[in-house]
Amino acid sequence: MTPIPEPGRFQPRLTLQTLGRGDGLLGMRGMGPFGPRGGQVTVAQVDWTYRTESGLSWETPAPRPGPLVRLATDVELRGAWGDRVLMRRDRFAEGLALERIRAFGLHPLPDQVLQWRGPEAAWGQAHLWSLLQEDFFGDFWADAVPQLQAEGWSIVTRPGFAHESVPVEAWKLIVSPETGEV
């Protein structure tokens, strides 16, 4: 008997990180729509996350454009006590989320463009996305990220993300008593 799939609650997640020499990154070579970049490259990871009513969770990287592959609509999850739940993915919501990040200018980053100090430095840096230019991330942070948060996206910034703007809380001006110059 086939179990009835339980609908999963879909939440896309965007993780932003700026990689540099301390991460083992030497730079980025130009390829496709991307130009070369120096020792600082901001990247994004886009993941589909799900949680079921029974408390089980599941995640997978967002698909990258390429040959059409029929992806499973139902995923079998296993709990800590051996319980099994068949979870139904929301393929329509996933498609809308993918369209949304593409509309904001994120493109899949080919794996071979990042130049690493050694193979071990690239560990955990798969399925990356980026904007066409590093300078675009300031506007992306100010304009796109609040909209994505309002739409229910989970936004994660890793330490060292170089484009996170911080609101000014105070100014300190020092005026010269002799000349009146600031």
Residues 31-87: tens digit of each pLDDT: 989 988 988 999 999 999 999 998 899 999 999 876 555 667 888 888 777 788 889
Which pLDDT value is given to residue 29?
A: 92
Say how far apart CA 132 and CA 10 lie, in whole Å. Answer: 28
* Torsion sign across C-alpha atoms 17, 51, 95, 68: positive
Give every CB contact of residue 102 below 8 A, 6+ residues apart in sequence.
none
Helices H / strands E in the chain, number of each: 3, 11
Residue 167 has pLDDT above 80, yes or no: no
160 CB-contact burial (10 Å; exposed 0-12 / middle 13-18 / buried 19+): middle
Cβ–Cβ < 8 Å for 113, 25: no
